[in-house]
Amino acid sequence: MALPATIAVRRHVLEVEVRGSESDGLLVQRHLSGTVHGLVARALETALAGVVPEDDRLVVDRLDIEVDDVPYDALDDALAQAVRRDVEAFFRRHLPPPDRRTGRSAHAPDPTTGANGPIVRSGPAATVEEAFVAFLRDGRLPWAFRPAHDDLERAVSEAWAGDILADALGREALVHALDAPVVRLRVVKQFSASFVHDLVDRVAPRVAGPLAEASGLRAAPGPDGPRWWSAFLRQVELAALTAVAERRTVTAQELVRRALAALPEQVRADPELAQHLGRRWPRVSLDVPTTLAPERPRAARAAVRGSAHEAGRMPAGATGDVTSLLVDHAGLVLLHPFLPRFLAGLGVTAGEELLDADRAVALLHHLATGDAVVPEQATPLAKVLCGMSLGEPVERDPDLTEDEVTEATALLEAVVGHWEALRNTSPDTLRAEFLTRPGTLSAEGGDWVLRVEDRSVDILLEELPWGISMVRTPWMERMLRVEWRA
């Protein structure tokens, strides 16, 4: 649904009674399906401009709008006028004052409004804070929150500049979120090292100093340093976040020891690692004590997957009906016949085994968008196609190789080549017209269900030489049912 960036509608239902023949009803249906989205968006923008403070975020559970009997040729104007009238009246009557302490407030529905729900109001700082904590817990953003350029780190950093965590409530919410191992892993995978250091400094200053000291060699090997360097620094950050979650003090030496314990044995055996650390930390032995020994890799991954399963609340193989998620790249499902060979050729999969989940999701995201950066909130469908839990963290900066980008382009060209209706369409046009298509993803009756927003160009789907109504890649436990172009 194409709405202005400041307005988001999760779901709208349009009920129309037509006094006329069945063909008259079909005429009205076709007309409204092609115009109502833009018409309502413009009317909402006009109505809200006069009643809503520019910097505030308002959430309305439900708003009913009624239009009196109108002739067909006046339908658009009547609908727009009704939206403006009812929205302005509703907000003028029910808009709650902001809470000066928290920036948040909620207003209970007036009995006279019937189905109209409450308005929840929050300022920009509280909005970013709530979205950040929600993302940390399950890798998704609240449906009504969209940071500029999909850059959550920048949005949070700008909010931090305004000291939104000055109150204990904000700090405690973040510390509580960090209790889960999957959240700590998400922090280091999705945010830069400088951001992680800022986070620790804000919620637990007692840990920030040791973290800075333990990672003080950050620039020592240079930007093209040995392969173990980034892995070691990440483990230092994870150890610091664990100390924050456990509400305890820690020394830099302990962070280094725990970081070493978490590294694979073959990495700890690297002589360069011993040389670098020996100069700065001569008392730290590379012989890891059994009390600090990490879990076996398989067990550790299983623990994270289990935590992600809990945090995601919609894991692969979910059996219950679940509220739908908005997805931006629903058209990615068009590529499903090409994915097994594509990922296997790049060494990411082996048969039904997913060897590198981070890379698989990054490659699917690149196929859909052309981007090399992977905001986790944009990956629910890619995760489903890879058979992953929606709560499992992925790398934001996977550093795709030139060969991987070349193979992705070749795949899109192969799709165009097989789909004769597209003729000489470029990969970027394929992305713009079909792959980066809005939709919703939900778990219903034990299967995943993907509903894709229709466009006029979808008439070309009638000439698609492969099916998309039922999709199951080799790594998926459950079927994905696709509803696209009724």
For residue range 248-303, what is the model confidence (pLDDT) as tens digits? 999 999 999 999 889 888 888 888 887 777 777 776 765 555 444 444 444 444 55
Whose tokens are 């909005």? That residue is 127
The reported pLDDT for the residue numbered 100 is 55
Q: What are the pLDDT digits (tens) for 305-328?
A: 555 444 333 444 444 445 689 999
Q: What is the pairing mode between strands 325-327 and 349-350?
A: unpaired
Q: What is the pairing mode between strands 353-354 and 349-350?
A: antiparallel
Least confident span in 4-13, 181-190, 358-367:
4-13
Q: What are the pLDDT digits (tens) for 222-260?
A: 545 566 788 889 999 999 999 999 999 999 999 999 998
Higher per-residue pLDDT: 382 or 224: 382
Rg (CA), the chain: 26
Least confident span in 63-67, 135-139, 470-474:
63-67
Instruction: Please state, rounded to an integer, the average pLDDT across all residues of the chain.
Output: 81
Asked if the model's pLDDT at residue 373 lies above 80, the reply is: yes
Domain extents in the chain: 22-94, 120-281, 324-483
Q: Which of 41-45, 129-133, 146-150, 346-350 has the highest mean pLDDT?
A: 346-350
The reported pLDDT for the residue numbered 123 is 62
The reported pLDDT for the residue numbered 91 is 80
Q: What are the pLDDT digits (tens) for 445-462?
A: 889 999 998 888 999 999
Mean pLDDT of 315-343: 81
Report residue 272: phi and psi, to 5°.
-65, -35
pTM for the whole structure: 0.79
